[in-house]
Structure 1
Amino acid sequence: MFASISATPVRILVSTSLLLASAALFSQLSGCGKTIDAPVVTTNPTSGGSGTEDGLPTDDEIRRQIDEVLDFTYERRRLNLQDHAAWQILHGALAYKRQFLVSDNGNDVSAVDHVLKGGKMTGWNMTRGDLLDEATQRYGVKALLESGTKTGQGHTDQWLGYLSDCQLPLDEVMIVEGKEHTVRDYVEQIEHDVHLNPYREYSWTLMALTAYRPTSYEWKAGDGSTWNIGKLVEIELEHNLDQSPCGGTHRLVGLTIARNRHVEAGGKLEGVWKACDDKINESIAKAKQFQNPDGSLSSNYLQRIGNSADLAQAMGSAGHVMEFLAVSMDKDQLQEPWVKRAVLKVCETFRNTKPVDVECGALFHAAHGLVLYRQKVFGPRSFGPETSEKPAAAAADNAPVDEKSTSTETPAAVVKSEEVAE
């Protein structure tokens, strides 16, 4: 019940046999997992309505296709609080931020605002944390780790990794177990518990902490050990990407976000940051090297070439890699022909899956990749009506705070809305 969402069929764009096979395989997938070898299908390179010398559609046509599939996903694949859980819903918020709506007994509400106000959501399991300030009796808040459930938080710090891109300032109020807390309490609890990460998996921790702290930040964990942002980067670089969830794309996104914010704040690419930058550029090159002849990104992520006939795998792998490319590449790079072909194939997969249930992780990571591409290449856009009672905070209000300061008035860097993922 929690694994997929459906939409009212608009038109059938693939053969009946392919739809049936894909739908069956969709139901077997539980989100991010190991790479699956699948039959290879060879098709002609994407051409579309030619309007340029390289045989690709015009930029206006590419933008139209992106907007069409993003609008369909936003408007026609509506989740609800009765049948869907936090794991599915917060993936939607990753793509559409505070504008992402869920149905609450027939009423559409902002998913982000709903949980911040203490609203009930299956899998959104938050609890009071440790005493952070004895003088004020201020406690932290923590999200329970429920790996593999596909309802609750599947990775350490995943929830704040996503929510930190929704322009939530440190003083944003959040209700936990009926008590008023702030995002600051959540951030400081993550810092307190950083040594307890069972898998030494800090992809989402990097996303979250670099949204509120400069990359030079250092702190003491709950056991008294000293940590800093660079140490988290170093640990992430030690992992084998091919053996990591979703082909290592989550690690790459976390590393890229940290690198981007480091550079934006005036940091130099030396030491661990040089190694981080090298890994990112190496992975971009692999995405291009293993791109299929039809323009689609490999169904084997960044390991080797592969083109799957399974629409679920095609959306999941290409969507995750597209998300990484959109975070890591600049506007000029994203307008290279090979990237445009990849974008068009992702849009094609969205159209082909309109009539079938789609696994939420694959769907919304792919949507997030297109949102980021659209923002960088064509400029930002909004989705649906403004639903939040409290306007989204200005970027400066959500900027990293110098470790010697207790105020957000003088940010060390500005958080970019195009920079978060999983």
Structure 2
Amino acid sequence: MLRRNGNLLGAIVFWGTTTFTTTATFAQEVVVAPILNHADGSNTEVASDKPMIRVAAVPQDKNDPFKPAPPVEEPKAKEAPAAEHKEESGETAEGAKPVEDAPSEKSEQEAPTVETKSDPSKTMDIPADSLEPEASEEKPEEAPSEPAKEETQQPAPLMQDDAARPIKDGEADKKPAQADDAEAEPEPMVEKPLPPEVRALQPRIARVLNYYYRSQPSDAVKNDVWETMHGFLPWGVDAQIRTPQYRQPVNTIGWICWNKPCRGHRLFEIKDGKLEAKQGPRVQGHHGQFLAMLAQSYVPASYEIQVDGQSFTVADLIEFEKETCEPKSELTFKLISLSYYLPADATWTSRDGQEWSLERLLKEEITQKVVGAACGGTHRLTGIAFAVASRKKAGLPMDGVWAKAEEYLNAYHQHSFQIQNRDGSFSTNWFEGRGMDRDIDRRLQTSGHILEFLIFSLPQEELTSPEIIRAVNYITTIMERNPKHEWSIGPKGHALHALVLYDQMVFGTKPGSRTEEILQTSHD
């Protein structure tokens, strides 16, 4: 008890120092700025009464992008509205040990491993799937010729809009009121109270996420780019990484976007004056994977990327992924990211002169197999879900391949629940059939990925169904009861991401607010 009180006092002193002292030293620039962009990239008017939010981003010093700098105290503003099982081995939620009391887990470097199951998709968890962004109706990416340079040489804020949240099919029907309908006031929506079993999950999920967030920093010396990407997947713009240069962790997305080394590997290179992202071992396992993770973190297209002293933006990376589309190749992560960043009816020409669109990407993906694809096919299904949600949100016709895609997703929803285990976990054989491997790592890997896909793609009202409640309880329980376990980075990232998505979609937690919340908790 004395040790815990001492730790709490130390945390209060640290955060008090970082907030109220102007001479403190930090390992990263802290940008205090209003929220500038919606999740779909559309501009938001900046009003003086808008809330300010602390976001760790790349600082304006070009020579030393992570030079320590004191934070700026935020002005007071009105609070913005928030955006929207038990194991058979005997692990129960009631018997779970509080994760706060557990020591921080080590950030151990682990490379993707080959699986020994009958499932042909032998990759441990190479992709960064998800349809996190709610804004599939994205505004076209900003032209590469407009790097995010301001007069102060400060890059665009690494943040998202207050309303940023994963896309849900049900929201596609919500169309803006026309001018001639302005007089007709819509009927107020009455929120249905959450079931008691769902409300009981909220404090447990919050406890698990807070524990793993505090122990989450990746290590630039031990972790390569692929591992670092999966390390920031659950936390998005709040993720941090330890580096040999600085005493305190710095922002993970800023570190990678400024092409800093992760275990000696850098993600970006310049060819013929254009930005390109490498693909292969130790960088990204799939084309478009890093951009898909940026989309799931609601990073705007204007955010700056630095390579060899040259300034680019995420918009340049979007152009690279568009130009390198190839038929009969894995386009899963391009479909996820481009469905987020591009308008639903966007078209473009690849480097080989072929015409592309999101519809063509969808056709390419839906004709390829799910069983045997990366991580059991969960990422491919997530890409399809991203595209469908984007199309619906844009109000475009759901016919042809789009109608087929909807049916496809519904079939996998039903199949997932048919082979779900009684303890709430999903099959350890992915979608191939029933499976209940006793290995806890395998269970977390399959259940975390499948739950993540389901939360992205199911209608909002089904997120409180008994099947989803049992699955969320299962993931929460095993992570709650095993805080010291050396989880593989990929499976752990996707399982935590599933809980983060559930926290956002069901309990209305605002994305990108975890650091701010912990800071406030420390002050309280």
TM norm structure 1:
0.74
What's the counterpart of residue 141 of structure 1? 275
What's the counterpart of residue 240 of structure 2? 101
In 1, distance between residues paired with 2:361 and 2:506?
30
Deviation at 1:164, TM superposition (A): 2.1
Letter matched to residue 128 of structure 1: I
The answer to whether structure 1 residue 168 and structure 2 residue 299 are counterparts is yes
Q: 1:179 to 1:34 in 2, by over 3 A?
A: farther
What's the counterpart of residue 375 of structure 2? 246
What's the counterpart of residue 184 of structure 1? 315
Q: Single out whichever of 310-319 and 374-383 deviates more from structure 2.
A: 374-383
Structure 1 residues 197-250: Cα deviation after superposition (integer angstroms, max 9, x where no partner):
7x6111110111122211211111111111111111011111111111111000
What's the counterpart of residue 378 of structure 1? 507
In 1, distance between residues paired with 2:514 and 2:456?
20
Letter matched to residue 270 of structure 1: D
Q: In 2, are the aligned partners of 1:203 and 1:250 still within 8 Å (CA)? A: yes
1:111 pairs with 243, 252, 264, which one? 252
More helix by share: 1
In 1, distance between residues paired with 2:196 and 2:219?
37
Q: 1:58 to 1:65 in 2, by over 3 A?
A: same
The answer to whether structure 1 residue 330 and structure 2 residue 459 are counterparts is yes
Letter matched to residue 117 of structure 1: W
The answer to whether structure 1 residue 255 and structure 2 residue 337 are counterparts is no
TM norm structure 2:
0.60
In 2, distance between residues paired with 1:187 and 1:386?
32
Letter matched to residue 64 of structure 1: P
Q: In 1, are the aligned partners of 2:216 and 2:240 still within 8 Å (CA)? A: no
Structure 1 residues 261-313: Cα deviation after superposition (integer angstroms, max 9, x where no partner):
11111122211111111111111111100011222111112221111211110
What's the counterpart of residue 217 of structure 2? 78
Deviation at 1:120, TM superposition (A): 2.6
Letter matched to residue 333 of structure 1: E
1:314 pairs with 443, 447, 456, which one? 443
Letter matched to residue 206 of structure 2: D
In 2, distance between residues paired with 1:32 and 1:116?
29
In 2, distance between residues paired with 1:90 and 1:28?
12
Structure 1 residues 51-106: Cα deviation after superposition (integer angstroms, max 9, x where no partner):
xxxxx963222111211221121112432111111111111222111101111234
In 1, distance between residues paired with 2:305 and 2:514?
24
1:52-91 mapped onto 2 (5 Å cutoff): 58-91=197-230
Q: 1:77 to 1:97 in 2, by over 3 A?
A: closer
Q: In 2, are the aligned partners of 1:219 and 1:228 still within 8 Å (CA)? A: yes
Q: 1:34 to 1:220 in 2, by over 3 A?
A: farther
Q: 1:205 to 1:386 in 2, by over 3 A?
A: farther
Q: In 1, are the aligned partners of 2:110 and 2:488 still within 8 Å (CA)? A: no
Q: Single out whichever of 168-177 and 153-162 deviates more from structure 2.
A: 168-177
Q: In 1, are the aligned partners of 2:339 and 2:387 still within 8 Å (CA)? A: yes
Q: In 2, are the aligned partners of 1:140 and 1:188 still within 8 Å (CA)? A: no
What's the counterpart of residue 125 of structure 1? 267
Q: In 2, are the aligned partners of 1:35 and 1:247 still within 8 Å (CA)? A: no
- The alignment yields a C-alpha RMSD, in angstroms, of 2.5
Letter matched to residue 188 of structure 1: E
Q: Which runs of 5+ in 1 are unaligned?
A: 1-12, 16-25, 38-55, 131-138, 388-422
Q: What secondary structure, in the 3-state scheme, does the structure 1 residue paired with 2:371 have? A: helix
What's the counterpart of residue 53 of structure 1? none
What's the counterpart of residue 325 of structure 2? 194
Letter matched to residue 477 of structure 2: E
Deviation at 1:323, TM superposition (A): 0.4
Q: 1:235 to 1:35 in 2, by over 3 A?
A: farther
Q: Name the larger-Rg structure.
A: 2
Q: 1:219 to 1:28 in 2, by over 3 A?
A: closer
What's the counterpart of residue 350 of structure 2? 221
Q: What secondary structure, in the 3-state scheme, does the structure 1 residue paired with 2:233 have? A: helix
Q: 1:27 to 1:158 in 2, by over 3 A?
A: closer
Letter matched to residue 81 of structure 1: A
Q: What secondary structure, in the 3-state scheme, does the structure 2 residue paired with 1:127 have? A: strand
Q: In 1, are the aligned partners of 2:371 and 2:431 still within 8 Å (CA)? A: yes
1:411-422 mapped onto 2 (5 Å cutoff): none
Structure 1 residues 133-173: Cα deviation after superposition (integer angstroms, max 9, x where no partner):
xxxxxx43111111xx3x21101111111112333322222
Deviation at 1:190, TM superposition (A): 1.4
How many residues are treated as equivalent by the alignment? 334
Deviation at 1:177, TM superposition (A): 2.4
Letter matched to residue 274 of structure 2: G
1:30 pairs with 86, 106, 112, which one? 112
Q: In 2, are the aligned partners of 1:118 and 1:178 still within 8 Å (CA)? A: no
Q: What secondary structure, in the 3-state scheme, does the structure 2 residue paired with 1:107 have? A: coil
